[in-house]
């Protein structure tokens, strides 16, 4: 991104704390900001009328939360919730729209990111329909790991179950399989990745489909 464009955006950014469980926007609600997580991870969830939910995508230091603002939708049927605590920045709706409408480098970058995000959402739907829970959990852990500095996740089984749209008992069983295989260490609310390569071998193809598309569309993204 040209330095003058970057400087213009940075001058409008506000630091924003993202504690675990914070809701950045609700389904159907008016969005007043877009968010750029730096050390946090945000989960995009689709919530059913009965209160059930399932994750459709995760956003971390590679992306932006609130694409509907600049895509013209103004709101979305998903909910954005912080799944891993940290920090980030926010930018007002008017500022992101103004930059998008300049039809310059920011527009092209945002469109490429949106395409990558759509790929993640589509692949998540396929994965949830066709692959086993332990493969889904491996995919989810790897996607989260890519967006963190380190190998530790602070995450309860209940929260993981809500993300994957499954019962808590299923998550417990899948996590124990990975732990017995020496891939992770799991204690109450804390997951430590012990063998990333092993996780990659155990997961389904969905993880690499998403990763390759992000790397193709966002080539300047820092490797993790």
pLDDT single digits (tens) 61-119 = 999 999 998 888 777 888 999 988 899 999 999 999 999 988 888 999 999 999 999 99
Say which residue, 128 or 164, is predicted with more confidence.
128
Domain 3-104 has CATH 2.60.120.10: yes
Q: Is residue 212 over pLDDT 50?
A: yes
* Domain locations along the chain: 3-104, 128-213
Please count the residues of the chain.
Answer: 224
**Neighbouring-strand partners of residue 91:** 34
Tell me the pTM. Answer: 0.86
> Measured between alpha carbons, how far is 135 from 73 in angstroms, rounded to an integer?
33
Say which residue, 132 or 156, is predicted with more confidence.
132
Q: What strands lie across the sheet with 184-187, from one edge to the other?
A: 152-154, 190-193, 184-187
User: Can 3-104 and 128-213 be said to share one CATH topology?
Assistant: no
Residue with tokens 């919730």: 81
pLDDT at 223: 41
> Measured between alpha carbons, how far is 144 from 45 in angstroms, rounded to an integer?
15
Q: Is residue 221 over pLDDT 60?
A: no
Confidence of residue 155 (pLDDT cuts 50, 70, 90): confident
Of 44-48, 160-164, 182-186, minimum mean pLDDT range: 160-164
Read off the pLDDT of each residue in 32-59 and give the average, rounded to a whole number. 88
> Measured between alpha carbons, how far is 8 from 30 in angstroms, rounded to an integer?
25
pLDDT at 20: 87
For the ranges 45-54, 144-153, 215-224, the maximum mean pLDDT occurs at: 144-153
Residue with tokens 């990111």: 113
Choose among 198, 89, 196: nearest CA to 153.
Answer: 196
Choose among 163, 116, 109: nearest CA to 137.
Answer: 163
State residue 3 phi and psi, 5-degree precision: -60, -35
CB neighbour list of residue 220: distance below 8 Å, 6 or more residues apart: none
Of 52-66, 118-132, 162-176, 196-210, minimum mean pLDDT range: 162-176
As a whole number, the mean pLDDT across the chain is 87
Task: Considering the domain delimited by 128-213, tell me its CATH architecture.
Answer: Orthogonal Bundle (1.10)
Give tens-digit pLDDT for 15-25.
999 998 899 99
């Amino acid at each position: 991104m040209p330095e003058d464009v970057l400087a213009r955006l940075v001058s409008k950014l506000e630091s924003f704390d993202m504690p675990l469980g914070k809701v950045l926007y609700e389904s159907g609600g008016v969005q007043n900001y877009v968010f750029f997580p730096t050390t946090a991870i945000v989960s995009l969830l689709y919530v059913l009328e009965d209160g059930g939910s399932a994750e459709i995508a995760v956003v971390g230091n590679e992306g932006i939360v609130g694409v509907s603002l600049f895509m013209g939708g103004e709101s979305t049927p998903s909910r954005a919730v912080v799944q891993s605590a940290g920090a980030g920045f926010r930018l007002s709706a008017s500022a992101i729209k103004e930059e998008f409408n300049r039809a310059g480098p920011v527009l092209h970058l945002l469109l490429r990111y949106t395409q990558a995000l759509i790929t993640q959402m589509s692949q998540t739907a396929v994965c949830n329909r066709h692959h086993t829970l332990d493969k889904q959990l491996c995919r989810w852990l790897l996607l989260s790991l890519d967006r963190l500095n380190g190998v530790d996740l602070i995450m309860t089984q209940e929260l993981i179950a809500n993300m994957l749209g499954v019962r808590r008992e299923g998550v417990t069983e899948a996590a124990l399989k990975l732990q017995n295989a020496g891939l992770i260490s799991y204690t109450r609310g804390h997951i430590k990745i012990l063998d990333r390569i092993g996780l990659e071998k155990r997961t389904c193809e969905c993880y690499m489909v998403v990763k390759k598309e992000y790397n193709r569309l966002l080539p300047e993204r820092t490797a993790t």
